[in-house]
Structure 1
Amino acid sequence: MTSTLIDRYQNYRVRRWLVQEQRTAGMLKSWRSLRRRRILVVVVTIALLGIAVAGVMRALDLFGAPGVAVVSALVFLPSWTMLRIASGGQDHAPDQMLDELEITERNKARSAGLALTQSLTMAPLAYLIFGSAFSPQADAYRIAYAGGLMMLATILAGGCAPAMILGWTRPDPEPEP
């Protein structure tokens, strides 16, 4: 039996998943409870909102947008990493590593993430299109920077949504014997 490119890729994903799971299995044990995962979801959400707010601040030509963006990014990166570790990375697990219920939950969360991405990116996209089309005298740098920050926030929100949904809804892990 010949293996296709997709089969080889799926096998590679499983091997990579197992290595990553082994690497993170003992990390952040105290953060794996539902309460703590929810705290991480809130922190990630606040950080993403901070990036979006920095874009709006730049669009309005308010002082401090780069600082807000940097602080938000510095909060986002570790909290997002912690959330993925604490939630077991089920949002990106290969099908072979999950049972049927987990696959269903993951797919629902991914679908919500895609819908969120599509709906949230419309506002920054409209800003970029109409801001540059109907306001040619505006500073192109300001429009691009503001729109880029807003788009970054919305795309990250949609990409993070599956892990955030699963982190918020999944019950506490079974206690180890």
Structure 2
Amino acid sequence: MPAQNLLERYEARRTRRFLDNQERMSGWLPSWRTRARRRLLTVILAVVLACMFVATTATYFVPLAALAWLPLTLVFLVTWTSLQIVSSRLSDAPRHALDEREISERNSARSIGLGVAQVLVMIPILALLVGSTIDSVDHQDLAYAAGGFTLASILFAGCLPAMILAWIRPDDDPEDRL
């Protein structure tokens, strides 16, 4: 066997760690591993992320709206972690841990996430570019709101592949769990 380069060793180690973690967490939240429950978590996550967008946009008009991020972040972390557990983290699985169909679905979902990130991040960029030329705009509040919107955009785009995969994947075959 030829000597592996650094990237190949990293991928092999990452695959081993992923499979070990997957085996360890395979029994966690067993009643939540159905399609209906994954979809419920996906909807909750989408609502939380939408509230983050609203809260960060509201910070331009009402700076205290930034306080809404604290409870939203807590709900986000619990929901996101739960979704990752029940969907077996397929959206960020190494390619050697997946079959061809799973790789294709994962790559397609990631591509959608990247496209969404590019579009959503353009919104605060354009707001900053245009807003910086208008004297009546509060530039400090605009920068804060745009930064929060960018953060919410990256969170949404980063979660989107897992949300898509959790939504489209069928229930596991009961025989596979034996």
Residue in 2 that maps onto 1:115: 115
Tell me how far apart the structure 1 counterparts of residues 40 and 18 of structure 2 sit (CA, whole Å): 25
TM-score by length of 1: 0.92
Aligned residues: 175
Matches within 5 A, 1:11-90: 11-59=12-60, 61-62=61-62, 64-90=64-90
Shift of 1:55: 1.3
Residue in 2 that maps onto 1:162: 161
Query: Which range is displaced more, 160-169 or 6-15?
Result: 6-15
Shift of 1:16: 1.6
Tell me how far apart the structure 2 counterparts of residues 69 and 7 of structure 1 sit (CA, whole Å): 40
Which amino acid is 1:157 matched to?
Answer: F
Matches within 5 A, 1:111-150: 111-131=111-131, 133-136=132-135, 138-150=137-149
Shift of 1:20: 1.6
Cα displacement string for residues 13-65 of structure 1 (whole angstroms, at most 9, x for unaligned residues): 11220222123111111111000000100111111111111111012x22641
Residue in 2 that maps onto 1:174: 173
Residue in 2 that maps onto 1:97: 97
Unaligned runs of 5+ in 2: none
SS in structure 1 at match of 2:153: helix
Determine what percentage of the aligned residue pairs are the same residue.
42
TM-score by length of 2: 0.92
Tell me how far apart the structure 1 counterparts of residues 9 and 135 of structure 2 sit (CA, whole Å): 50
Tell me how far apart the structure 2 counterparts of residues 31 and 50 of structure 1 sit (CA, whole Å): 24
Q: 1:23 to 1:135 in 2, by over 3 A?
A: farther
Tell me how far apart the structure 1 counterparts of residues 128 and 30 of structure 2 sit (CA, whole Å): 43
Which amino acid is 2:170 matched to?
Answer: P
Which amino acid is 2:27 matched to?
Answer: G
Tell me how far apart the structure 1 counterparts of residues 21 and 143 of structure 2 sit (CA, whole Å): 37
Tell me how far apart the structure 1 counterparts of residues 119 and 57 of structure 2 sit (CA, whole Å): 17
